[in-house]
């Protein structure tokens, strides 16, 4: 069955004052033209029929081709509501763009656009006849956004095994020949180049196995591509051994932030607290703010910042913006700078203790399912890298619903529609399931068969003390 959408190709235009216009790298010309080249899906068409749109701006641009994989809802100057795929460029002269539209089934369409350096260029484009894209092939899942080059992450998976299954045996069973190795340790916080199994006394055994071995499986620093492949390989082996998870356990993701400045880290924290309530929707009830587990092991960063903001009469966004150094940022988010404030959803303590240059996302429920692990790794890495590049966010208006906030998170920050679709499904499961079923959700499970159990850890003290989506700005030479 064929699917189709109507679209319009054009560009917006704004003149940049000479005194603030940047110069081109070649020739030193002032780039006084601000242009956004767009493909607008019109007539209430479904933008998810388009997988991505590439804009080939020519050899004088670096890079030459810009790709937009996530459109934003836009109101044109004509008053038309559209879904816009676009790229934004600052240039000193006119140029032509070769546009390639990729359908969700694999069909492609190429068209050319001559950029108009006129203030009414967007209006004129929407007065032209619409074009039509037809996808004749079977629709496929939307493409995953590529994780940034140089991104680095690590994971910690809390689990338990029967009393007769020792950590050494698990390490032997999980080791993957020459691809990766797993080693059991009595105790270590050292960063090593292999996977490690270390004891974890803070978690509790399932009621069916009160004498279990409690541990966490910790990865070495990993990168995109090969790192996710390694995670998949080791989790496929986990399902072949008798391990279990329950509500006392979690899955933590560390993201390396050594290349980010303090102002960039501030923006990461601002986006996190802005969308914390939305992230709660993606988790089972036991992993949300207000749960027993949250109060003990992954407290709300937003609540902590709100308490500080209330004293200074600032918003949470402004309170974080006021942090001028790492110490003040970490204290504002975690209430301590000596390592004792790590039991928050977003833990920044490593940045001031010097243990490792990572921030830790702690709120995800325990799991050994690769699809869930991969999705949350991608979520954490994209949130960190994109937030660091975007402008500082503003607070939501009071009439913005949580559902609208969820859409905004994936449209303006994460920029990944495949991830959006995955977490839409997860949120629906967690928020519309029968309460009795949702109470434990996907946590209380064993590999390969489910075992229902829920116990709580002993309490630990917690100390409290829009730039637009897919709009790429180029500093190219034209």
pLDDT at 434: 55
Specify the higher pLDDT residue, 246 or 445: 246
The model's pLDDT over 272-307, given as tens digits with 9 standing for 90+, comes to 999 999 999 999 999 999 998 888 899 999 999 999
Angle between helices 262-274 and 301-312 (to 10 degrees): 100
Specify the higher pLDDT residue, 439 or 222: 222
Smallest Cα–Cα separation from 102: which of 186, 10, 183, 5?
A: 5
433, pLDDT greater than 70? no
Buried-state track 84-113, b at ≥16 Cβ within 10 A, e below 16: bbbbbbbbbeebebebbbbbbeebebeeeb
Place 126 in a pLDDT band, splitting at 50, 70 and 90: very high
pLDDT at 188: 73
Residue ranges of domains in the chain: 3-140, 153-446
Q: What is the average pLDDT across 174-191?
A: 84
Q: What is the DSSP string of 130-177?
A: PEEEEE-SPP-PPPPPPPPTT--EEEEEEEEE-TTS-HHHHHHHH-BT
349, pLDDT greater than 60? yes
The model's pLDDT over 6-30, given as tens digits with 9 standing for 90+, comes to 999 999 999 999 999 999 988 899 9
Whether the pTM exceeds 0.75: the reply is yes
**147-54-33-94 Cα dihedral, nearest 10 degrees:** 150
Smallest Cα–Cα separation from 45: which of 147, 163, 134, 165?
A: 134
451, pLDDT greater than 80? no
Specify the higher pLDDT residue, 225 or 462: 225
In percent, how much of the chain has pLDDT > 70?
A: 90
In percent, how much of the chain has pLDDT > 90?
A: 78
Backbone angles phi, psi at 410, to 5 degrees: -80, -25
Q: What is the average pLDDT across 321-336?
A: 97
pLDDT at 201: 86
**What is the dotted CATH code of the domain comprising 153-446?**
3.30.590
The model's pLDDT over 141-165, given as tens digits with 9 standing for 90+, comes to 999 999 999 999 999 999 999 888 8
Place 431 in a pLDDT band, splitting at 50, 70 and 90: confident
Integer Rg of the chain from CA: 25
pLDDT at 442: 47
pLDDT at 219: 97
pLDDT mean across residues, the chain: 90
Place 439 in a pLDDT band, splitting at 50, 70 and 90: very low
User: Do residues 333 and 305 touch, judged by C-beta distance below 8 A?
Assistant: yes
What whole-number distance in Å separates Cα of residue 342 and Cα of residue 331? 11
437, pLDDT greater than 90? no
User: Do residues 133 and 47 touch, judged by C-beta distance below 8 A?
Assistant: no
Place 239 in a pLDDT band, splitting at 50, 70 and 90: confident
Place 208 in a pLDDT band, splitting at 50, 70 and 90: confident
440, pLDDT greater than 80? no
Q: Which architecture does CATH list for 3-140?
A: Sandwich (2.60)
Of the listed ranges 110-124, 174-188, 316-330, the least confidently predicted one is: 174-188
Cα–Cα distance list, 45 to 7, 8, 79, 407 (Å) = 8, 12, 16, 18
Q: Using CA of residue 40, residue 42, residue 44, residue 49, what is the dihedral sign? A: negative
């Amino acid at each position: 069955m064929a699917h189709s959408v109507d679209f319009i190709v054009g560009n917006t235009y704004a003149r940049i004052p000479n005194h603030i216009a940047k110069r081109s790298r070649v020739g030193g010309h002032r780039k006084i033209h601000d242009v956004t080249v767009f493909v607008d899906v019109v007539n209430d068409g479904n933008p998810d029929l388009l997988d991505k749109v590439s804009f080939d701006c020519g050899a004088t641009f670096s890079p030459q081709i810009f790709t937009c994989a996530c459109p934003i809802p836009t109101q044109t100057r004509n008053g038309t509501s559209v879904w816009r795929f676009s790229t934004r460029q600052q240039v000193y002269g006119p140029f032509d763009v070769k546009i390639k539209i990729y359908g969700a089934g694999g069909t492609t369409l190429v068209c050319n656009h001559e950029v108009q350096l006129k203030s009414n260029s967007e209006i004129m484009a929407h007065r032209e006849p619409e074009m039509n894209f037809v996808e004749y092939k079977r629709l496929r899942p939307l493409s995953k956004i590529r994780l940034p080059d140089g991104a680095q992450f690590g994971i910690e998976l809390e689990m338990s095994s029967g009393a007769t299954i020792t950590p050494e045996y698990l390490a032997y069973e999980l080791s993957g020949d020459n691809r990766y190795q797993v080693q059991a340790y009595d105790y270590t916080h050292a960063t090593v180049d292999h996977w490690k199994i270390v004891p974890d006394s803070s978690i509790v055994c399932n009621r069916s196995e009160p004498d279990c071995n409690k541990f966490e499986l910790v990865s070495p620093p990993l990168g995109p591509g090969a790192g996710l492949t390694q995670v998949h390989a080791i989790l496929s082996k986990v399902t072949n051994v008798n391990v279990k998870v329950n509500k006392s356990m979690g899955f933590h993701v560390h993201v390396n932030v050594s290349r980010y400045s303090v102002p960039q880290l501030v923006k990461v924290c601002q986006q996190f607290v802005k969308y914390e309530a939305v992230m709660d929707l993606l988790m089972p009830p036991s992993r949300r703010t207000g749960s027993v587990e949250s109060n003990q092991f992954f407290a709300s960063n937003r609540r902590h910042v709100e308490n500080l903001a209330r004293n200074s009469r600032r918003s949470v966004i402004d309170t974080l913006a006021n942090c001028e150094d790492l110490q003040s940022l970490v204290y504002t988010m975690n209430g301590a700078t000596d390592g004792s404030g790590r039991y928050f959803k977003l833990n920044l303590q490593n940045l001031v203790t010097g243990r490792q240059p990572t921030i830790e996302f702690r709120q995800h429920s325990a799991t050994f399912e690769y699809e869930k692990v991969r999705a949350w790794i991608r979520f954490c890495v994209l949130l960190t890298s994109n937030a660091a590049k975007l402008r500082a966010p503003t607070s939501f208006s009071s009439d913005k619903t949580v559902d609208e906030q969820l859409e905004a998170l994936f449209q303006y920050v994460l920029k990944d529609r495949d991830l959006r679709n995955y977490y839409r499904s997860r949120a629906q499961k967690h928020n519309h399931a029968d309460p009795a079923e949702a109470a434990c959700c996907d946590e209380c499970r064993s590999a390969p068969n489910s075992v229902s159990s829920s116990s709580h850890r002993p309490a630990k003290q917690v100390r409290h003390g829009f730039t637009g989506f897919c709009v790429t700005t180029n500093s190219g030479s034209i």
